[in-house]
Amino acid sequence: MKNVFFSVLVYLKTRIIYNEQVRLGNRLFNAYMKANYTFFLNRNSAELLRNVNNETRLVISDVIMPLMQIIMDGLVLLMIVILLLKVEPVISLLTFIVLGIVSFLFIRFTNKKNKSYGKEAQQHRRRMNKTVLEGISSIKDVKVMGRENSFLERYKLSAARTAISLRYKQALNQLPKPFMETVAVTGMLLIALMFVASGRNVASLIPVLTLFGAATIRLLPIFKTVVSAYTDIRYNIYAIDPVYDDLRLLERNINKHPGKEEKINIDPYPFFSRIVFKNVSYRYPQGSAEAIDDVNLEIPKGSVMGLVGHSGAGKTTIVDILLGLFEPQQGKVLVDDQDIFSDVRRWQMNVGYIPQLIHLSDDTIRRNIAFGLPDDEIDDVKIKQAMLAAQLESLIQELPEGLDTIVGERGIRLSGGQRQRIGIARALYNNPQVLIMDEATSALDNITEKSVIDAIERLRGDRTIIMIAHRLTTVQNCDIVYLMSQGKILDYGNYDHLLKSSSEFRKMNLME
């Protein structure tokens, strides 16, 4: 019966613990997914990956679980102590005082070093994750530049330091047993000496020693478990900080802005007339100057608008604000006189975005176009419409598996133009009224760029199109082009107008 009860207790404990581990991981990942975009500008993806997959596990398995073990063993220890105090109060009290002092000194002696090694191990785990992620994600550059050994040495150094820390922790976990055995034998001798010194009958010593011996046999594994559990907690205590610091920061922000959480099955933001930037200014959290300063611009519905200027002019900041990723510190972004940040999620449902580098998962073309949706929610009618609009049909027909072709990690099995067309199809999947291209063709050759621009031109009139471009040929056919420099709009008009009116625009044109 005892074994059945113990088995049920262990099952319940492990079930609660590992359910909590799953819940904590889900909670942290949820907080990251719903964090403001600015949060990610100053964080390393390897660190966030470590927090979700590794630190949450350590918090539960190496902090919470040992803590529960200490509580459970502490209850057993308390019952044994009460029994011994009842039988031999004076000797028991003196024995436990000595044991307590010795245990305290042992923990005190190892505690500081244990915490230090735990913190060092956490730092090296972060470096290991960062090195692996950087090395694999940039494998082409690594191979071409012959940097394999550089990444290997960085990883080996951090792995070796982590091993030293773990070795120290494991050694500490093994020390309590011989340490406590020595203390126990010494304690039994002290009890015998106390009996003799007190003048008590030696015959009465045998049952007392038997009782203390039986208690010692039961107490030794408990002491070892408690000290080892405490060692685990002190070693892994630093795993708590990154997890709960991020949770406190991000969940506080979610609670302040509950309306910004994702809504299901809501209608897109209505757009009938124009988009207006009215005296918009924005400075990045660590920025020393305004990224854009007092910007005013207007985009009529159905028009094609271009943004040009040198790097750092503020073009991408304008696009990120229009995407709802940054809320301006001054001014407003109005769609038909309504501030888009009053319901930014609805506005984002009406926007398609094509970045310079398309992120493709190692999955099928169908799933990459629908991006993130489970199979039972993918609409094949929308897939077909997006595919036709992006002029992907010829590529799909050439592939034996068609839409079910696996593209490889980051689309490595496709050409640059093919990846870009899949990016266009993804942007069009939800049939948005606004399409934003952030230097979407700058990495393509002239012929491929022209074919992609032709695909975009076919959408003209049906959608409002906004283009960021380095090459002025990309914006030749735009209805209006805004020329930017140092966060301000220098001039605007169509391509021919800017050639006549702006010396800066003419310089850019001559440089091509």
Positive or negative: CA dihedral 360, 361, 366, 369: negative
| C-alpha R_g of the chain | 33
Residue that wins the pLDDT comparison between 236 and 330? 330
* Continuous segment of H or E residues that includes residue 297: strand 292-300
pLDDT at 512: 62
pLDDT, residue 266, reads 67
504 in Cβ contact with 472 (< 8 Å): no
Please provide the CATH number assigned to the domain covering 274-510: 3.40.50.300
Cβ neighbourhood burial of 129 (10 Å; 0-12, 13-18, 19+): buried
Q: What is residue 280's predicted lDDT score, i.e. its pLDDT?
A: 94
Does pLDDT of 99 surpass 80?
A: no
In this structure, the number of other CB atoms found within 10 A of the CB of residue 213 comes to 13
Residue 481 sits at φ, ψ, to 5 deg, of -125, 130
Q: Per-residue pLDDT tens for 192-239?
A: 777 666 666 666 667 777 777 777 777 777 877 887 788 788 888 888
CATH 3.40.50.300 range(s) for the chain read 274-510
On whether the CB atoms of residues 411 and 440 are closer than 8 A, the answer is no
Q: What H or E segment, with its residue span, contains residue 338? A: strand 338-339
Q: Which of 154-168, 179-193, 227-241, 281-295 has the lowest mean pLDDT?
A: 179-193
Would the pLDDT of 348 be above 80? yes
> Among 242-256, 321-335, 449-463, where is mean pLDDT lowest?
449-463
pLDDT band at 305 (very low <50, low <70, confident <90, very high): very high
pLDDT at 261: 47
Question: Mind listing the pLDDT tens digit for each residue in 401-441?
Answer: 888 888 887 778 888 778 888 888 999 898 899 999 887 66
Q: Note the pLDDT tens digit of each residue in 40-49.
A: 888 888 888 8
Residue whose pair of structure tokens reads 């094949």 in the numeric block: 380
Pair 37, 325: CB distance under 8 Å: yes
Measured on CA atoms in the order 355, 359, 365, 369, is the torsion positive or negative? negative
Helices (H), 323-392: 344-348, 365-370, 380-389
Superfamily of domain 2-254: ABC transporter type 1, transmembrane domain (1.20.1560.10)
From the number of C-beta atoms within 10 Å of its C-beta (0-12, 13-18, 19+), residue 49 rates as: middle
Distance from C-alpha of 339 to C-alpha of 285, rounded to nearest angstrom: 22
Residue 207: the pLDDT is 76
- Count CA atoms within 13 Å of residue 11 on its CB side: 6
Look at residue 300 and tell me whether its pLDDT is greater than 90.
Answer: yes
pLDDT at position 345 is: 87
Rounded distance between C-alpha atoms, residue 299 and residue 252, angstroms: 36
Give the up-direction half-sphere exposure of residue 477: CA atoms within 13 A in the CB hemisphere: 10
pLDDT at 199: 66
Q: Where in the chain is the domain with CATH 1.20.1560.10?
A: 2-254
Q: How far apart are CA 32 and CA 36, in angstroms?
A: 9
Contacts by residues 52-57 (CB-CB < 8 Å, ≥ 24 positions apart): 52/25, 52/28, 53/25, 54/125, 54/129, 54/239, 55/122, 55/239, 55/242, 55/243, 56/21, 56/24, 56/25, 56/28, 56/243, 57/21, 57/25
3-state secondary structure of 433: coil
Q: Which of 398, 80, 78, 25 is nearest to 247 (CA)?
A: 25
User: Which residues, other chains included, contact 294 with Cβ-Cβ below 8 Å and sequence gap of 6+?
Assistant: 279, 280, 281, 330, 331, 488
Confidence band of 330 (pLDDT split at 50, 70, 90): very high
Q: Indicate if the pLDDT at residue 320 is higher than 50.
A: yes
